[in-house]
Homo-oligomer: A and B are copies of this chain.
Amino acid sequence: MKQEQKLKVVVIGGGSSYTPELVEGLLKRHHELPISDLWLVDIEAGLEKAQVIANLTERMINKANCQIKVHLTTDRKLALKDADFVCSQFRAGRMKARLRDERIALKYRMIGQETNGLGGFSNACRTIPIALEIAKEMETLCPNAWLLNFTNPSGMVTEALVKHSTIKTVGLCNVPVNMERGAAKMLGAKREDMTMQIAGLNHLVWARKVLHEGQDKLGELIEELIAGNDQMMPKNIPPFEWDGELIRSLNIVPCAYLRYYYQSRDILDKEFAASESKTNRADLVAEVEKQLLEIYQDPMLDTKPQLLKERGGAYYSEAACELMSSIYNKRSIMHVNTRNNGAIQGLPNDCAVEVSSVITSSAILPLNVEPFDSDTLRLIQQMKEFETLTVKAAMTGDIALAKRALILHPIVDSGSHIDEALLETIRENLDFMPAFAHRLAQSEQ
Protein backbone atom coordinates (compact mmCIF):
# COMPACT_ATOMS: atom_id res chain seq x y z
CA MET A 1 0.00 0.00 0.00
CA LYS A 2 1.21 3.43 -0.82
CA GLN A 3 1.49 6.20 1.75
CA GLU A 4 -0.60 8.68 -0.18
CA GLN A 5 -3.53 6.26 -0.32
CA LYS A 6 -6.76 7.09 1.44
CA LEU A 7 -7.99 3.94 3.12
CA LYS A 8 -11.48 2.49 3.02
CA VAL A 9 -12.35 0.45 6.09
CA VAL A 10 -15.48 -1.71 6.22
CA VAL A 11 -16.97 -3.13 9.41
CA ILE A 12 -19.31 -6.09 8.95
CA GLY A 13 -21.59 -6.15 11.95
CA GLY A 14 -20.92 -2.43 12.34
CA GLY A 15 -23.87 -2.04 14.64
CA SER A 16 -22.13 -4.01 17.37
CA SER A 17 -21.71 -2.33 20.71
CA TYR A 18 -17.97 -2.94 20.28
CA THR A 19 -17.73 -0.50 17.38
CA PRO A 20 -17.01 2.60 19.51
CA GLU A 21 -13.90 0.87 20.82
CA LEU A 22 -12.74 0.19 17.28
CA VAL A 23 -13.45 3.80 16.35
CA GLU A 24 -11.44 5.02 19.32
CA GLY A 25 -8.50 2.89 18.19
CA LEU A 26 -8.66 4.15 14.63
CA LEU A 27 -8.80 7.77 15.77
CA LYS A 28 -5.81 7.25 18.05
CA ARG A 29 -3.80 6.04 15.04
CA HIS A 30 -5.12 8.53 12.54
CA HIS A 31 -1.69 9.95 11.74
CA GLU A 32 -0.28 6.59 10.75
CA LEU A 33 -3.44 5.15 9.23
CA PRO A 34 -5.05 7.66 6.81
CA ILE A 35 -8.63 6.47 6.66
CA SER A 36 -11.01 8.41 4.45
CA ASP A 37 -14.11 6.23 4.67
CA LEU A 38 -15.55 4.04 7.38
CA TRP A 39 -18.41 1.79 6.29
CA LEU A 40 -20.65 0.20 8.88
CA VAL A 41 -22.59 -2.74 7.45
CA ASP A 42 -25.44 -4.42 9.30
CA ILE A 43 -28.58 -6.39 8.60
CA GLU A 44 -32.06 -4.91 8.34
CA ALA A 45 -33.07 -6.23 11.74
CA GLY A 46 -30.14 -4.51 13.42
CA LEU A 47 -30.43 -1.20 11.64
CA GLU A 48 -32.00 0.73 14.47
CA LYS A 49 -29.23 -0.19 16.86
CA ALA A 50 -26.63 0.38 14.14
CA GLN A 51 -27.90 3.93 13.60
CA VAL A 52 -27.24 4.69 17.26
CA ILE A 53 -23.69 3.40 16.81
CA ALA A 54 -23.17 5.32 13.58
CA ASN A 55 -24.30 8.54 15.22
CA LEU A 56 -21.96 8.06 18.14
CA THR A 57 -19.17 7.25 15.70
CA GLU A 58 -19.68 10.53 13.91
CA ARG A 59 -19.66 12.45 17.17
CA MET A 60 -16.39 10.75 18.14
CA ILE A 61 -14.81 11.58 14.78
CA ASN A 62 -15.90 15.18 15.02
CA LYS A 63 -14.48 15.49 18.48
CA ALA A 64 -11.15 14.11 17.20
CA ASN A 65 -11.23 16.60 14.38
CA CYS A 66 -10.70 13.93 11.74
CA GLN A 67 -11.92 13.80 8.15
CA ILE A 68 -13.44 10.33 8.07
CA LYS A 69 -16.77 9.85 6.33
CA VAL A 70 -19.09 7.40 8.07
CA HIS A 71 -21.45 5.28 5.94
CA LEU A 72 -24.17 3.04 7.33
CA THR A 73 -25.66 0.48 4.96
CA THR A 74 -27.31 -2.91 4.63
CA ASP A 75 -25.87 -3.25 1.12
CA ARG A 76 -22.75 -5.28 1.82
CA LYS A 77 -21.55 -5.37 -1.77
CA LEU A 78 -21.68 -1.61 -2.03
CA ALA A 79 -19.57 -1.37 1.08
CA LEU A 80 -17.01 -3.98 0.04
CA LYS A 81 -16.26 -2.42 -3.35
CA ASP A 82 -12.58 -1.41 -3.36
CA ALA A 83 -12.20 -1.79 0.38
CA ASP A 84 -8.70 -1.87 1.92
CA PHE A 85 -9.58 -3.46 5.24
CA VAL A 86 -12.67 -5.45 6.11
CA CYS A 87 -13.30 -6.03 9.81
CA SER A 88 -15.68 -8.88 10.43
CA GLN A 89 -17.39 -8.74 13.82
CA PHE A 90 -20.93 -9.85 13.00
CA ARG A 91 -22.87 -12.28 15.16
CA ALA A 92 -24.99 -14.71 13.14
CA GLY A 93 -28.40 -14.97 14.79
CA ARG A 94 -27.46 -12.14 17.13
CA MET A 95 -27.45 -12.45 20.90
CA LYS A 96 -30.62 -14.56 20.85
CA ALA A 97 -28.80 -17.40 19.12
CA ARG A 98 -26.05 -17.29 21.71
CA LEU A 99 -28.57 -17.49 24.52
CA ARG A 100 -30.21 -20.44 22.75
CA ASP A 101 -26.89 -22.23 22.38
CA GLU A 102 -26.19 -21.92 26.06
CA ARG A 103 -29.65 -23.11 26.98
CA ILE A 104 -29.52 -26.22 24.80
CA ALA A 105 -26.02 -27.10 25.95
CA LEU A 106 -26.95 -26.83 29.60
CA LYS A 107 -30.08 -28.89 29.05
CA TYR A 108 -27.87 -31.80 28.03
CA ARG A 109 -25.24 -30.99 30.65
CA MET A 110 -22.69 -29.85 28.09
CA ILE A 111 -20.53 -26.77 27.79
CA GLY A 112 -22.22 -24.03 25.83
CA GLN A 113 -19.48 -21.43 25.68
CA GLU A 114 -19.60 -19.55 22.36
CA THR A 115 -16.30 -20.87 21.04
CA ASN A 116 -16.16 -24.30 22.65
CA GLY A 117 -18.12 -27.52 22.89
CA LEU A 118 -21.67 -27.61 21.58
CA GLY A 119 -21.97 -23.83 21.78
CA GLY A 120 -18.87 -23.31 19.71
CA PHE A 121 -20.02 -25.94 17.25
CA SER A 122 -23.40 -24.32 16.84
CA ASN A 123 -21.92 -20.85 16.50
CA ALA A 124 -19.46 -22.11 13.87
CA CYS A 125 -22.23 -23.72 11.85
CA ARG A 126 -24.21 -20.48 11.82
CA THR A 127 -21.24 -18.23 11.13
CA ILE A 128 -19.04 -20.05 8.62
CA PRO A 129 -21.51 -19.99 5.69
CA ILE A 130 -21.86 -16.21 6.05
CA ALA A 131 -18.13 -15.67 6.46
CA LEU A 132 -17.45 -17.63 3.29
CA GLU A 133 -20.11 -15.64 1.45
CA ILE A 134 -18.42 -12.38 2.46
CA ALA A 135 -15.03 -13.70 1.34
CA LYS A 136 -16.51 -14.79 -1.97
CA GLU A 137 -17.85 -11.27 -2.52
CA MET A 138 -14.49 -9.80 -1.59
CA GLU A 139 -12.75 -11.98 -4.18
CA THR A 140 -14.68 -10.02 -6.79
CA LEU A 141 -15.08 -6.60 -5.20
CA CYS A 142 -11.81 -6.06 -3.35
CA PRO A 143 -9.47 -9.00 -4.03
CA ASN A 144 -6.43 -7.29 -2.49
CA ALA A 145 -8.14 -6.20 0.71
CA TRP A 146 -7.28 -7.75 4.07
CA LEU A 147 -10.00 -9.50 6.01
CA LEU A 148 -9.63 -9.07 9.77
CA ASN A 149 -11.88 -11.56 11.46
CA PHE A 150 -12.86 -11.25 15.09
CA THR A 151 -16.21 -12.91 14.70
CA ASN A 152 -16.32 -15.89 17.05
CA PRO A 153 -15.47 -18.75 16.98
CA SER A 154 -12.53 -16.91 15.50
CA GLY A 155 -10.28 -19.97 15.09
CA MET A 156 -12.78 -22.04 13.13
CA VAL A 157 -14.00 -19.10 11.07
CA THR A 158 -10.41 -18.26 10.13
CA GLU A 159 -9.74 -21.91 9.26
CA ALA A 160 -12.75 -21.96 6.93
CA LEU A 161 -11.52 -18.75 5.31
CA VAL A 162 -7.88 -19.72 4.81
CA LYS A 163 -8.96 -23.08 3.40
CA HIS A 164 -11.74 -21.96 1.12
CA SER A 165 -10.93 -18.44 0.03
CA THR A 166 -8.03 -16.61 -1.60
CA ILE A 167 -8.58 -13.46 0.45
CA LYS A 168 -5.75 -12.55 2.84
CA THR A 169 -7.35 -13.34 6.16
CA VAL A 170 -6.14 -12.77 9.70
CA GLY A 171 -8.07 -13.96 12.72
CA LEU A 172 -7.83 -11.88 15.85
CA CYS A 173 -8.55 -12.41 19.50
CA ASN A 174 -7.97 -10.33 22.59
CA VAL A 175 -6.71 -13.24 24.69
CA PRO A 176 -3.03 -13.03 23.63
CA VAL A 177 -3.03 -9.25 24.01
CA ASN A 178 -4.35 -9.64 27.53
CA MET A 179 -1.66 -12.22 28.25
CA GLU A 180 1.08 -9.98 26.98
CA ARG A 181 -0.08 -6.93 28.88
CA GLY A 182 -0.65 -8.96 32.03
CA ALA A 183 2.73 -10.65 31.81
CA ALA A 184 4.49 -7.31 31.47
CA LYS A 185 2.78 -6.11 34.64
CA MET A 186 3.52 -9.35 36.49
CA LEU A 187 7.21 -9.14 35.59
CA GLY A 188 7.47 -5.40 36.14
CA ALA A 189 8.64 -5.01 32.57
CA LYS A 190 7.87 -2.46 29.93
CA ARG A 191 5.76 -4.13 27.24
CA GLU A 192 7.94 -2.84 24.41
CA ASP A 193 11.07 -4.35 26.03
CA MET A 194 9.48 -7.79 26.20
CA THR A 195 9.02 -10.29 23.36
CA MET A 196 6.34 -12.82 24.19
CA GLN A 197 5.81 -15.75 21.87
CA ILE A 198 2.43 -17.40 22.09
CA ALA A 199 1.26 -20.48 20.22
CA GLY A 200 -1.72 -22.80 20.01
CA LEU A 201 -5.23 -22.44 18.68
CA ASN A 202 -7.72 -19.70 19.29
CA HIS A 203 -8.81 -19.90 22.97
CA LEU A 204 -6.32 -22.75 23.43
CA VAL A 205 -3.12 -20.83 23.52
CA TRP A 206 -0.02 -20.75 25.66
CA ALA A 207 2.89 -18.38 26.16
CA ARG A 208 5.98 -20.28 25.08
CA LYS A 209 8.66 -17.63 25.50
CA VAL A 210 8.75 -14.47 27.56
CA LEU A 211 11.97 -12.79 26.48
CA HIS A 212 13.20 -9.88 28.48
CA GLU A 213 16.63 -8.42 29.16
CA GLY A 214 18.61 -11.32 27.82
CA GLN A 215 16.58 -14.03 29.53
CA ASP A 216 13.54 -16.21 29.00
CA LYS A 217 11.37 -15.37 32.02
CA LEU A 218 8.80 -18.08 31.39
CA GLY A 219 9.62 -19.86 34.65
CA GLU A 220 9.37 -16.64 36.61
CA LEU A 221 5.99 -15.92 35.05
CA ILE A 222 4.74 -19.41 35.89
CA GLU A 223 5.68 -18.91 39.53
CA GLU A 224 3.84 -15.57 39.63
CA LEU A 225 0.80 -17.24 38.12
CA ILE A 226 0.85 -20.07 40.62
CA ALA A 227 1.35 -17.62 43.47
CA GLY A 228 -2.01 -16.13 42.51
CA ASN A 229 -0.69 -12.97 40.88
CA ASP A 230 -2.52 -13.62 37.60
CA GLN A 231 -3.01 -10.39 35.67
CA MET A 232 -3.49 -12.03 32.29
CA MET A 233 -7.16 -12.85 32.73
CA PRO A 234 -9.70 -10.92 30.69
CA LYS A 235 -12.38 -9.08 32.65
CA ASN A 236 -15.11 -11.48 31.55
CA ILE A 237 -13.60 -14.49 33.24
CA PRO A 238 -13.99 -14.96 36.98
CA PRO A 239 -10.71 -15.43 38.85
CA PHE A 240 -9.69 -18.91 39.97
CA GLU A 241 -6.57 -20.72 41.09
CA TRP A 242 -4.42 -22.80 38.78
CA ASP A 243 -3.14 -26.21 39.89
CA GLY A 244 0.43 -25.12 40.56
CA GLU A 245 1.94 -28.58 40.52
CA LEU A 246 0.40 -29.27 37.12
CA ILE A 247 1.35 -25.95 35.50
CA ARG A 248 4.90 -26.19 36.78
CA SER A 249 5.23 -29.70 35.39
CA LEU A 250 3.80 -28.59 32.03
CA ASN A 251 6.24 -25.66 32.08
CA ILE A 252 3.93 -23.52 30.03
CA VAL A 253 1.78 -20.43 30.64
CA PRO A 254 -1.83 -21.24 29.77
CA CYS A 255 -4.42 -18.74 28.62
CA ALA A 256 -7.48 -18.38 30.80
CA TYR A 257 -9.60 -20.72 28.66
CA LEU A 258 -7.26 -23.58 29.42
CA ARG A 259 -8.99 -24.01 32.74
CA TYR A 260 -11.74 -25.74 30.74
CA TYR A 261 -9.18 -28.46 30.00
CA TYR A 262 -7.03 -28.44 33.12
CA GLN A 263 -9.88 -28.13 35.63
CA SER A 264 -12.90 -29.09 33.61
CA ARG A 265 -15.14 -30.61 36.25
CA ASP A 266 -14.62 -27.74 38.69
CA ILE A 267 -15.40 -25.15 36.04
CA LEU A 268 -18.33 -26.95 34.50
CA ASP A 269 -19.90 -27.57 37.88
CA LYS A 270 -19.60 -23.87 38.61
CA GLU A 271 -21.07 -23.02 35.23
CA PHE A 272 -24.00 -25.37 35.61
CA ALA A 273 -24.70 -23.94 39.03
CA ALA A 274 -24.55 -20.41 37.66
CA SER A 275 -26.95 -21.31 34.89
CA GLU A 276 -29.49 -22.44 37.40
CA SER A 277 -29.23 -19.13 39.18
CA LYS A 278 -29.51 -17.30 35.83
CA THR A 279 -26.07 -15.77 36.11
CA ASN A 280 -24.58 -17.36 33.06
CA ARG A 281 -22.39 -15.48 30.62
CA ALA A 282 -24.88 -14.89 27.80
CA ASP A 283 -27.41 -13.38 30.16
CA LEU A 284 -24.85 -11.06 31.70
CA VAL A 285 -23.70 -9.93 28.29
CA ALA A 286 -27.26 -9.31 27.14
CA GLU A 287 -27.85 -7.10 30.17
CA VAL A 288 -24.67 -5.04 29.61
CA GLU A 289 -25.57 -4.69 25.93
CA LYS A 290 -28.91 -3.18 26.84
CA GLN A 291 -27.33 -0.65 29.18
CA LEU A 292 -24.64 0.25 26.64
CA LEU A 293 -27.15 1.02 23.94
CA GLU A 294 -28.94 3.40 26.24
CA ILE A 295 -25.74 5.23 27.04
CA TYR A 296 -24.76 5.40 23.37
CA GLN A 297 -27.98 7.18 22.57
CA ASP A 298 -27.01 10.17 24.70
CA PRO A 299 -26.40 12.89 22.05
CA MET A 300 -23.76 14.48 24.30
CA LEU A 301 -21.63 11.37 24.41
CA ASP A 302 -18.63 11.68 22.10
CA THR A 303 -16.16 9.20 23.62
CA LYS A 304 -16.18 5.52 24.41
CA PRO A 305 -18.02 5.06 27.73
CA GLN A 306 -16.43 3.36 30.72
CA LEU A 307 -18.96 0.53 30.83
CA LEU A 308 -17.72 -0.86 27.49
CA LYS A 309 -14.56 -1.99 29.22
CA GLU A 310 -16.63 -4.36 31.28
CA ARG A 311 -18.19 -5.81 28.16
CA GLY A 312 -15.31 -8.28 28.01
CA GLY A 313 -13.73 -7.55 24.70
CA ALA A 314 -10.98 -5.26 25.92
CA TYR A 315 -8.10 -5.00 23.44
CA TYR A 316 -10.08 -6.56 20.60
CA SER A 317 -10.17 -3.28 18.77
CA GLU A 318 -6.69 -2.49 20.01
CA ALA A 319 -5.51 -5.64 18.24
CA ALA A 320 -7.48 -4.83 15.11
CA CYS A 321 -6.21 -1.27 14.82
CA GLU A 322 -2.66 -2.29 15.61
CA LEU A 323 -2.85 -4.95 12.92
CA MET A 324 -4.14 -2.52 10.30
CA SER A 325 -1.40 -0.10 11.20
CA SER A 326 1.28 -2.82 11.04
CA ILE A 327 0.08 -3.97 7.66
CA TYR A 328 -0.11 -0.42 6.42
CA ASN A 329 3.14 1.03 7.53
CA LYS A 330 5.41 -0.93 9.79
CA ARG A 331 6.72 -4.38 10.56
CA SER A 332 5.75 -5.65 13.99
CA ILE A 333 5.15 -8.86 15.90
CA MET A 334 1.53 -9.65 16.71
CA HIS A 335 -0.43 -12.70 17.82
CA VAL A 336 -2.83 -13.78 15.09
CA ASN A 337 -4.76 -16.68 13.60
CA THR A 338 -3.26 -17.68 10.28
CA ARG A 339 -2.40 -20.69 8.10
CA ASN A 340 -0.13 -23.09 9.97
CA ASN A 341 2.28 -24.20 7.24
CA GLY A 342 4.31 -26.06 9.83
CA ALA A 343 4.65 -23.29 12.42
CA ILE A 344 3.23 -25.79 14.93
CA GLN A 345 4.63 -29.26 14.30
CA GLY A 346 2.07 -32.05 14.26
CA LEU A 347 -0.81 -30.07 12.80
CA PRO A 348 -1.82 -30.03 9.12
CA ASN A 349 -0.18 -27.37 6.97
CA ASP A 350 -3.50 -25.96 5.82
CA CYS A 351 -5.17 -25.45 9.20
CA ALA A 352 -5.42 -22.21 11.16
CA VAL A 353 -3.28 -21.67 14.26
CA GLU A 354 -2.89 -18.77 16.68
CA VAL A 355 0.76 -17.78 16.69
CA SER A 356 3.03 -14.82 17.17
CA SER A 357 3.89 -13.56 13.71
CA VAL A 358 5.81 -10.85 11.95
CA ILE A 359 3.21 -8.66 10.23
CA THR A 360 4.16 -7.13 6.89
CA SER A 361 2.08 -5.41 4.27
CA SER A 362 2.36 -8.43 1.98
CA ALA A 363 2.14 -11.45 4.21
CA ILE A 364 1.91 -12.76 7.74
CA LEU A 365 5.12 -14.55 8.72
CA PRO A 366 4.57 -16.79 11.76
CA LEU A 367 7.47 -17.36 14.10
CA ASN A 368 8.38 -21.00 14.26
CA VAL A 369 7.14 -22.71 17.43
CA GLU A 370 9.47 -25.02 19.32
CA PRO A 371 7.89 -28.49 19.57
CA PHE A 372 5.31 -28.78 22.33
CA ASP A 373 5.54 -31.53 24.94
CA SER A 374 3.65 -34.44 23.50
CA ASP A 375 0.69 -34.35 25.89
CA THR A 376 0.08 -30.68 25.15
CA LEU A 377 0.42 -31.44 21.46
CA ARG A 378 -2.18 -34.20 21.76
CA LEU A 379 -4.62 -31.73 23.30
CA ILE A 380 -4.01 -29.24 20.50
CA GLN A 381 -4.35 -31.92 17.82
CA GLN A 382 -7.58 -33.15 19.29
CA MET A 383 -9.10 -29.67 19.41
CA LYS A 384 -7.89 -28.94 15.89
CA GLU A 385 -9.53 -32.14 14.70
CA PHE A 386 -12.74 -31.03 16.39
CA GLU A 387 -12.45 -27.70 14.58
CA THR A 388 -11.66 -29.22 11.22
CA LEU A 389 -14.56 -31.65 11.40
CA THR A 390 -16.82 -28.82 12.53
CA VAL A 391 -15.85 -26.70 9.53
CA LYS A 392 -16.60 -29.65 7.24
CA ALA A 393 -19.91 -30.33 8.98
CA ALA A 394 -20.87 -26.65 8.77
CA MET A 395 -20.28 -26.68 5.03
CA THR A 396 -21.85 -30.05 4.23
CA GLY A 397 -24.55 -30.53 6.84
CA ASP A 398 -23.25 -34.04 7.46
CA ILE A 399 -24.71 -35.01 10.84
CA ALA A 400 -22.42 -37.99 11.30
CA LEU A 401 -19.43 -35.71 10.86
CA ALA A 402 -20.94 -33.34 13.40
CA LYS A 403 -21.13 -36.21 15.88
CA ARG A 404 -17.56 -37.23 15.11
CA ALA A 405 -16.50 -33.65 15.84
CA LEU A 406 -18.34 -33.42 19.13
CA ILE A 407 -17.38 -36.80 20.58
CA LEU A 408 -13.74 -35.95 19.97
CA HIS A 409 -13.97 -32.71 21.93
CA PRO A 410 -12.09 -33.19 25.22
CA ILE A 411 -14.85 -31.86 27.41
CA VAL A 412 -17.87 -33.22 25.58
CA ASP A 413 -19.07 -36.69 26.58
CA SER A 414 -20.09 -39.03 23.78
CA GLY A 415 -23.46 -40.75 24.03
CA SER A 416 -27.03 -40.63 22.86
CA HIS A 417 -27.59 -37.17 24.39
CA ILE A 418 -25.36 -35.83 21.59
CA ASP A 419 -27.89 -36.94 18.99
CA GLU A 420 -30.71 -35.22 20.76
CA ALA A 421 -28.78 -32.04 21.45
CA LEU A 422 -27.61 -31.88 17.84
CA LEU A 423 -31.08 -32.31 16.44
CA GLU A 424 -32.47 -29.69 18.79
CA THR A 425 -29.66 -27.31 17.82
CA ILE A 426 -30.27 -27.76 14.13
CA ARG A 427 -34.03 -27.43 14.44
CA GLU A 428 -33.69 -24.20 16.39
CA ASN A 429 -31.21 -22.76 13.87
CA LEU A 430 -32.73 -23.88 10.59
CA ASP A 431 -32.46 -20.41 9.05
CA PHE A 432 -28.77 -20.15 9.83
CA MET A 433 -27.65 -23.66 8.98
CA PRO A 434 -28.74 -24.15 5.39
CA ALA A 435 -26.64 -27.26 4.78
CA PHE A 436 -28.01 -29.03 7.86
CA ALA A 437 -31.55 -27.88 7.12
CA HIS A 438 -31.25 -29.41 3.68
CA ARG A 439 -29.93 -32.73 4.95
CA LEU A 440 -32.53 -32.88 7.68
CA ALA A 441 -35.31 -32.28 5.18
CA GLN A 442 -33.89 -35.05 2.99
CA SER A 443 -33.66 -37.55 5.81
CA GLU A 444 -37.17 -36.77 6.99
CA GLN A 445 -38.77 -37.29 3.62
Seen from chain A, the residues whose Cβ lies within 8 Å of a Cβ on chain B are 1-2, 144, 195, 197, 209, 211-216, 243, 245-246, 248-250, 261-268, 331, 333, 341-343, 345, 349, 355, 358, 360-363, 365-371, 374-375, 378-379, 381-382, 385, 388-389, 398-401, 403-405, 407-408, 410-411, 413-417, 419
Name 23 A/B residue pairs within 8 A (Cβ), A-sorted: A209-B362, A209-B363, A209-B365, A211-B362, A243-B403, A249-B404, A261-B414, A262-B414, A268-B413, A333-B358, A342-B342, A342-B369, A343-B368, A366-B367, A366-B368, A367-B368, A368-B368, A374-B388, A375-B385, A375-B404, A375-B405, A378-B381, A379-B408
Q: Are A365 and B249 in contact (CB under 8 A)?
A: no
Known A-B contacts A263-B416, A375-B408, A378-B382; the reply to A195 vs B358 at CB < 8 A is yes
Measured in the bound complex, the distance between the Cα atoms of B343 and A195 in whole Å is 19
Across the interface, which residues of B come within 8 angstroms of A343, CB to CB?
A: 368
Additional A-B contacts beyond A212-B362, A216-B363 (18; CB < 8 A): A2-B213, A195-B362, A209-B362, A213-B362, A214-B361, A245-B399, A246-B400, A246-B403, A249-B404, A263-B415, A264-B415, A265-B414, A266-B415, A342-B345, A343-B368, A366-B368, A378-B385, A381-B381
A342-B368, A342-B369, A342-B371 known; A263 vs B414 contact (CB < 8 Å): yes
A333 nearest CB neighbor, chain B only? B358
Chain B residues positioned under 8 Å from A358 (CB to CB): 195, 333, 358, 367
Closest to A247 in B: B400
A338 to B36, CA, bound (A): 45
Given A245-B399, A378-B408, do A365 and B197 touch, yes or no (CB 8 Å)?
Answer: yes
